């Protein structure tokens, strides 16, 4: 692999664990590139819905994912030229992403696209299988988690801040269902990678979590 010498930090964890925020801040501090792999699954799900492809149709969704017209620029996310960063954060898109992410053909279709994010001087990659499947030789692997209640609280605040409506009981039930699906699927289930540092952020601020990851990074 021509770029295998480029350092990668993987940050995996369950939905709403704060890994996206922590990954973006760590990447910023180190001047590294950022891969928000969940956004790719969300974009593929959005693409399928827009193309009126059934989410149960593994082959058809994988075909769309294979040629996903996704671009990332300065924190903005584009699908075929349209900025959809806020749109793909909706719970419905997340739930659809979790469904299509269980299909091996969809994961395979997004594989090369994800490897392409490994560019100098380095990459911070966040998702579910960054340390286990996509970048198994990453320099630092972190498994970031938090209690389901803490995560539901954070997701509630995130949604309200973004102008979406939200209901706490629905959010808790959704998170539990999504955890169940992401953890128990047969391909690339959400499990800590071998050698991953476990970081429970239930009682931590974002600053503390970022500082901990940067500290582990300096130890390597
Ligand atoms: O991190 P997120 O909530 O944006 O991810 C949305 C869904 O995509 C999540 O429920 C599971 C799936 N996903 C995945 O299977 N593998 C990844 N590396 C990232 C996300």
Strand spans (E) along 74-132: 76-79, 82-83, 123-127
Sketch the domain layout of the chain as residue ranges: 8-218
pLDDT confidence of residue 1:
63
CA 62/CA 129 separation, integer angstroms: 18
Q: Tell me how far the alpha carbon of residue 28 lies from the centroid of ligand 1, in angstroms.
A: 22
The CATH classification of domain 8-218, taken from the options 3.40.50.300, 1.25.40.10, 3.30.230.70, 2.60.120.10: 3.40.50.300
96 lines ligand 1 (CB under 6 A): no
Under a CB-based contact definition with an 8 Å cutoff, are residues 70 and 43 in contact?
yes
DSSP secondary structure letter of residue 196: P
Determine whether the shortest distance from the Cβ of 182 to ligand 1 is under 6 A. yes
107 burial level (CB within 10 Å; 0-12, 13-18, 19+): buried
Query: Rounded to whole angstroms, how far apart are CA atoms 47 and 68?
Result: 8
Q: Is the distance from the beta carbon of residue 15 to the nearest atom of ligand 1 less than 6 Å? A: yes
CA distance 165 to 28: 30
DSSP code, position 192: P
- What is the C-alpha separation between 129 and 108, in angstroms, rounded? 12
Q: Are 144 and 12 in contact (CB under 8 A)?
A: yes
Residue nearest to atom 11 of ligand 1 (CA): 98
Characterize the bridge pairing of strands 76-79 and 82-83.
antiparallel
Count the Cβ atoms, other than its own, within 10 Å of residue 202: 14
DSSP code of residue 83: E
Tens of pLDDT along the chain (220 residues) come to 678 899 999 999 998 899 999 999 999 999 999 999 999 999 999 999 999 999 999 999 999 999 999 999 888 999 999 999 999 988 899 989 999 999 999 999 999 999 999 999 999 999 999 999 999 999 999 999 999 999 999 989 988 998 888 999 999 998 999 889 888 888 888 899 999 999 999 999 999 999 999 999 999 8
Q: Which two tokens stand for residue 198?
A: 């476990």
User: Which pLDDT belongs to residue 15?
Assistant: 85
Pick from 98, 103, 131, 175 the residue to mutate for probing ligand 1's pocket: most ligand atoms within 8 Å of its CB.
98
> Which residues, including other chains, have CB under 8 Å from residue 89's CB and lie 6 or more apart?
42, 158, 159, 162, 164
Longest dimension (CA), the chain: 49
End-to-end CA gap in the chain: 22
């Amino acid at each position: 692999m021509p770029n295998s010498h480029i350092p990668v930090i993987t940050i995996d964890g369950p939905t709403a664990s704060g890994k996206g925020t922590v990954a973006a801040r760590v990447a910023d501090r180190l001047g590294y590139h950022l891969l928000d792999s969940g956004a790719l699954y969300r974009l593929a799900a959005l693409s399928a819905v827009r193309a009126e492809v059934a989410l149960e149709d593994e082959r058809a969704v994988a075909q769309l994912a294979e040629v996903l017209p996704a671009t990332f620029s300065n924190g903005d996310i584009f699908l075929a030229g349209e900025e959809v960063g806020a749109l793909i954060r909706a719970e419905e898109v997340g739930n659809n992403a979790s469904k299509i992410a269980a299909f091996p053909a969809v994961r395979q279709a997004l594989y090369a696209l994800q490897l392409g994010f490994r560019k100098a001087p380095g990459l911070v990659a966040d998702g579910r299988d960054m340390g286990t499947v996509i970048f198994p030789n990453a320099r630092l692997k972190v498994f970031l988690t938090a209690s389901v209640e803490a995560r539901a609280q954070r997701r509630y605040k995130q949604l309200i801040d973004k102008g979406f409506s939200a209901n706490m009981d629905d959010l808790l039930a959704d998170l539990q269902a999504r955890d169940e699906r992401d953890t128990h699927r047969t391909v690339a289930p959400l499990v800590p990678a071998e050698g991953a540092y476990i970081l429970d952020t239930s009682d931590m601020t974002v600053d503390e979590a970022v500082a901990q990851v940067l500290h582990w990074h300096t130890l390597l």
